[in-house]
């Protein structure tokens, strides 16, 4: 796991080595083990290394092949690199690293090399002979890759802060991105909060030659259709799911450094830990964060799984004072503003402090196996979508009555769905994930001309109809919330502590198989039943426990221990030119008065946005 950077000049080199050094320095946390620079003709490449596979100095980057024609900078892990290595007998390997395997694969297959890679990755390859720069991002977008280009140069890096450090990118905020952020607690790729910085989409590549830049999509969640006749026998489906998940976990346990697993005691993390324990000859190290606030603490569930699988379990108890101590670090670690990324920062930091450099996570289990409540709600909505044809005044009456007699954010979302002309998935899903709704944004913003809804646009580009309905929801979750919130939070906040997170549920072969499983097998009676029944070892107490999710007691902390910090940030945000000051402050006052229509997520979103703007010296 590492940080990569580079500057490519369309005309001639312009003393860019010093700029790339600054970009590397801005990402030092991503790679404390080595700092490297490569310069040739029009290109300068930079690399920060966190050593996981092949710890020798020969595996440092930038890395060139034996002929020195090709040079790579690589961030990520390739899990099948050893089998790929065996398929490349004509290349004389000088390291045991996966980076060199990518180089050899690129020499053999060119841009088609991505089809052979199994892992999480973002990398760039420079071909000195052809004068081409090839960049790629993995299928699900586990590893980020940001870029900026104009008529003079193309700049790329693993983090936005590195591009800003180059001094070649304007620090201007995109107003459209602010609207997207307030709607969904993120800015959806390819856009970012900074107007002149873009993000390479998951499953995409870029090829640059001369001044020509060519984008290409090599994989998408909705393009893998499998013969439905393979999915008629439930026992066979369960067998295949089990084999694919065990294989996914096993290949992610390959490491030359100490590793462990996050364990919340939920279905997903318990499944990963159970499989790891069965595969490994050694005790698995597990980590869970606990709180004094009992309703937020999952300690007893995590403890039960740790005892069942005899793990070396560490409970890390956090108090508000502990969190307040870590909060400044967490806020400064944000490479983009986020809703609850501080959670991931804290658990990553304390895990790293225990001597672990790599950890497996249960992230992705809900998206792949239909675990979120949204799967149930949207399935019910689909069954009754004929009611959307009711007269508009009737639907509006129901909506108004609901919000009046049952105030709250959930009721407001249902009311918004009731008002829609259609209850098809591309219409209802975007409402389900909203933080601030459009009528609220019209009050908060001085300019009432809202941009198009990013989730609606993303769903319109997916081929949904040929897949089971639950998989359609999975595609929506993966292409919006998971890729643009969860995975970005996991990357930026774990790498801030030089910790690598691996996610077995997002193995593309497992996902492709599960996407084609009929709904009746995936979710016949309860969430993630296919996963639970396929494994067969999760106790009922874990399976049937209330779903909590990994969260801190934000509601309580913001009103008490974090009050002064939050108040100062919101006061500053209210002064920004695009906002109606009184409306921003009114939202804060309503939260403090326990208004059920304003939850902690909305407040922290505003706090996070202002802190990011001021810390990075951004301007409208």
Instruction: Provide mean pLDDT across the span 249-266.
Output: 90
Euclidean distance between CA atoms 609 and 573, whole angstroms: 8
Sheet containing 358-360, strands listed edge to edge, beginning at the edge strand earlier in sequence: 312-318, 285-291, 259-262, 358-360, 500-502
> Is the confidence at residue 154, as pLDDT, over 90?
yes
Question: What per-residue confidence (pLDDT) applies to 350?
Answer: 83
Return the bridge partners of 49, or none. 2, 34
Q: Is residue 347 situated within a structural domain?
A: yes
Give the total number of structural domains in the chain: 3
DSSP-derived letter for residue 189 is: T
> Is the confidence at residue 293, as pLDDT, over 70?
no
Residue 69 contacts residue 129 (beta carbons within 8 Å): yes
Alpha-carbon dihedral angle through residues 502, 50, 53, 242, given to the nearest 10 degrees: 0
Residue 508 contacts residue 497 (beta carbons within 8 Å): no
Instruction: Give me the CATH number covering residue 497.
Output: 3.40.50.620
Where does a domain end: 543, 573, 602?
543
Most confident of 103-112, 295-304, 345-354: 103-112
Looking at the structure, do residues 259 and 314 belong to the same domain, yes or no?
yes
How far lies 78's CA from each of 158, 251, 255, 468, in Å? 17, 9, 11, 31
113 is catalytic: no
List the one residue out of 184, 188, 178 whose CA is nearest residue 437: 184
Looking at the structure, do residues 601 and 480 belong to the same domain, yes or no?
no
Euclidean distance between CA atoms 202 and 218, whole angstroms: 9
Looking at the structure, do residues 133 and 281 belong to the same domain, yes or no?
no
Q: Is residue 21 situated within a structural domain?
A: yes
> Is the confidence at residue 386, as pLDDT, over 90?
no
Residue 219 contacts residue 117 (beta carbons within 8 Å): no
Euclidean distance between CA atoms 437 and 252, whole angstroms: 40
Residue 339 contacts residue 604 (beta carbons within 8 Å): yes
Instruction: Give me the CATH number covering residue 29.
Output: 3.60.20.10
Q: Is residue 188 situated within a structural domain?
A: yes
Question: What per-residue confidence (pLDDT) applies to 254?
Answer: 87
H or E element in which residue 316 lies: strand 312-318
DSSP-derived letter for residue 451 is: P
How far lies 337's CA from each of 331, 453, 609, in Å? 9, 19, 5
Q: How confident is the model at residue 396 (pLDDT cuts 50, 70, 90)?
A: low
Looking at the structure, do residues 286 and 197 belong to the same domain, yes or no?
no
Looking at the structure, do residues 21 and 140 belong to the same domain, yes or no?
yes
> Is the confidence at residue 55, as pLDDT, over 60?
yes
Residue 417 contacts by C-beta under 8 Å, 6 or more apart in sequence?
381, 423, 427, 428, 431
Residue 533: both structure tokens together: 């029944």
What is the extent of the structural domain holding 584? Answer: 553-620
Chain length of the chain: 620
The better pLDDT of the pair 574, 328 is held by 574
Residue 124 contacts by C-beta under 8 Å, 6 or more apart in sequence?
4, 6, 45, 72, 73, 133, 134, 135, 136, 156
Looking at the structure, do residues 588 and 478 belong to the same domain, yes or no?
no
Question: What per-residue confidence (pLDDT) applies to 447?
Answer: 79
Q: Give the HSE-up count for residue 225: Cα atoms under 13 Å, Cβ half-sphere.
A: 7
Euclidean distance between CA atoms 252 and 259, whole angstroms: 10
Q: Name the one residue in this structure whose structure tokens are 């209802």.
A: 428
Q: How confident is the model at residue 523 (pLDDT cuts 50, 70, 90)?
A: confident
Residue 519 contacts residue 470 (beta carbons within 8 Å): yes
Residue 53 contacts residue 98 (beta carbons within 8 Å): yes
Residue 120 contacts residue 143 (beta carbons within 8 Å): yes
Q: Exactly one of 2, 113, 338, 566 is catalytic; which is it?
A: 2
Q: How confident is the model at residue 465 (pLDDT cuts 50, 70, 90)?
A: confident
Q: How confident is the model at residue 299 (pLDDT cuts 50, 70, 90)?
A: confident
H or E element in which residue 48 lies: strand 43-49
Q: Name the one residue in this structure whose structure tokens are 């439930």.
A: 234
- pLDDT tens by residue, 576-604: 999 999 999 999 999 999 998 899 999 99
String of b and e for 422-458 (b: at least 16 CB within 10 Å)? Answer: ebbbbbbbbbbbbbbbeebbeebbeeeeeeebbbeeb
DSSP-derived letter for residue 36 is: E
Euclidean distance between CA atoms 494 and 334, whole angstroms: 11
Q: How confident is the model at residue 56 (pLDDT cuts 50, 70, 90)?
A: confident
Looking at the structure, do residues 185 and 276 belong to the same domain, yes or no?
no
Where does a domain end: 514, 543, 572?
543
Where does a domain end: 175, 196, 217?
217
What backbone torsions phi and psi does residue 594 show, to the nearest 5 degrees? 65, 35
Q: Is residue 386 situated within a structural domain?
A: no
Of 31-35, 263-267, 395-399, 499-503, the range with the lowest mean pLDDT is 395-399
Q: Is residue 124 situated within a structural domain?
A: yes
Q: How confident is the model at residue 106 (pLDDT cuts 50, 70, 90)?
A: very high
How far lies 556's CA from each of 40, 298, 361, 566, in Å? 55, 18, 27, 13
Return the bridge partners of 216, or none. 205
- Cα-to-chain-centroid distance, residue 217: 19
Question: What per-residue confidence (pLDDT) applies to 400?
Answer: 67
Return the bridge partners of 52, or none. none
Looking at the structure, do residues 359 and 498 belong to the same domain, yes or no?
yes
Task: Give the global pTM.
Answer: 0.93
Residue 138 contacts residue 122 (beta carbons within 8 Å): yes
Looking at the structure, do residues 181 and 259 belong to the same domain, yes or no?
no
Secondary structure (3-state) at 71: strand
Q: Is residue 260 situated within a structural domain?
A: yes
How far separated are the first and last CA of the chain, in Å rounded? 34
Question: What per-residue confidence (pLDDT) applies to 422?
Answer: 81
**469-477 vs 425-432: helix crossing angle, rounded to 10:** 40
Looking at the structure, do residues 87 and 171 belong to the same domain, yes or no?
yes
For the chain, the average pLDDT equals 90
Looking at the structure, do residues 302 and 242 belong to the same domain, yes or no?
yes
Q: Is residue 91 situated within a structural domain?
A: yes
- pLDDT tens by residue, 437-460: 999 999 999 977 899 999 999 999
List the one residue out of 132, 120, 116 whose CA is nearest residue 42: 132
What backbone torsions phi and psi does residue 393 show, to the nearest 5 degrees? -70, -30
Q: Is residue 70 situated within a structural domain?
A: yes
Looking at the structure, do residues 319 and 170 belong to the same domain, yes or no?
no
Q: Name the one residue in this structure whose structure tokens are 């980057």.
A: 61
Question: What per-residue confidence (pLDDT) applies to 512?
Answer: 94
């Amino acid at each position: 796991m590492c940080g990569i950077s580079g500057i490519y000049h369309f005309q001639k080199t312009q003393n860019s080595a010093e700029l790339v050094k600054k970009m590397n320095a801005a990402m030092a946390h991503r790679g404390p083990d080595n700092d490297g620079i490569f310069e040739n003709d029009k290109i300068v490449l930079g690399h920060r290394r966190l050593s996981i596979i092949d710890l020798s100095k020969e595996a440092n980057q930038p890395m060139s092949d034996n002929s020195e024609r090709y040079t790579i900078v690589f961030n990520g892990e390739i899990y099948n690199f050893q089998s790929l290595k065996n398929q490349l007998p004509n290349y004389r390997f000088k390291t045991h690293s996966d980076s060199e395997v990518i180089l050899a694969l690129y020499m053999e297959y060119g841009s088609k090399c991505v089809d052979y890679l199994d892992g999480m990755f973002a990398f760039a390859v420079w071909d000195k002979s052809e004068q081409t720069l090839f960049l790629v991002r993995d299928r699900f977008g586990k590893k980020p890759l940001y870029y900026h280009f104009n008529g003079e140069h193309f700049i790329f890096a693993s983090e936005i802060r590195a591009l800003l450090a180059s001094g070649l990118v304007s620090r201007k905020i995109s107003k459209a991105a602010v609207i997207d952020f307030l709607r969904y607690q993120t800015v959806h790729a390819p856009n970012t909060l900074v107007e002149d910085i873009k993000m390479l989409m998951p499953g995409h590549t870029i090829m640059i030659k001369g001044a020509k830049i060519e984008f290409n999509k090599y994989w998408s969640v909705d393009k893998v259709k499998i013969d439905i006749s393979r999915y008629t026998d439930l026992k066979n489906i369960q067998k295949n799911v089990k084999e694919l998940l065990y294989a996914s976990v096993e290949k992610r346990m390959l490491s030359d450094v100490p590793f462990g697993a996050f364990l919340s005691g939920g279905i997903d993390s318990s499944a990963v830990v159970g499989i790891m324990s069965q595969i490994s000859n050694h005790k698995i190290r597990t980590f869970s964060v606990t709180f004094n606030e009992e309703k937020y603490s999952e300690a007893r569930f995590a403890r039960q799984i740790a005892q069942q699988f005899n793990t070396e379990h560490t409970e890390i108890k956090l108090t508000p004072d502990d969190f307040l101590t870590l909060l400044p670090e967490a806020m400064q670690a944000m490479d983009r503003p986020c809703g609850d990324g501080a959670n991931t920062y804290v658990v990553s930091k304390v895990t790293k402090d225990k001597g672990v450099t790599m950890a497996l996570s249960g992230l992705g289990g809900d998206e792949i196996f239909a675990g979120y409540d949204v799967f149930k709600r949207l399935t019910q909505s689909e069954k009754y979508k004929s009611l959307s044809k009711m007269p508009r005044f009737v639907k509006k009456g129901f909506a108004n009555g609901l919000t009046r007699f049952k105030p709250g954010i959930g009721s407001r979302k249902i009311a918004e769905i009731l008002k829609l002309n259609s209850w098809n998935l591309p219409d209802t899903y975007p409402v389900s994930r909203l933080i601030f709704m459009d009528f609220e944004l019209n009050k908060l913003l001085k300019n009432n001309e809202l941009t198009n809804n990013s989730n609606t646009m993303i769903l319109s580009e997916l081929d949904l109809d040929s897949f089971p309905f639950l998989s359609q929801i999975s595609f929506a979750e993966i292409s919006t919330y998971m890729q643009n919130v969860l995975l970005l939070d996991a990357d930026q906040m774990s790498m801030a502590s030089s910790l690598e997170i691996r996610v077995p549920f997002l193995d593309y072969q497992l996902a492709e198989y599960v996407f084609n499983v009929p709904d009746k097998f995936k979710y016949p009676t309860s969430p993630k039943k296919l996963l639970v029944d396929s494994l067969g070892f999760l106790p009922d107490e874990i399976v049937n426990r209330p779903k909590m999710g990994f969260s801190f007691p934000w509601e309580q902390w913001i009103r008490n221990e974090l009050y002064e910090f939050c108040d100062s940030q919101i006061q500053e945000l209210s002064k920004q030119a695009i906002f109606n000051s009184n409306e921003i402050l009114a939202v804060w006052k309503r939260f403090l008065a326990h208004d059920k229509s304003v939850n902690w997520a909305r407040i922290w979103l505003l706090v996070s946005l202002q802190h990011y703007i001021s810390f990075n010296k951004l301007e409208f």
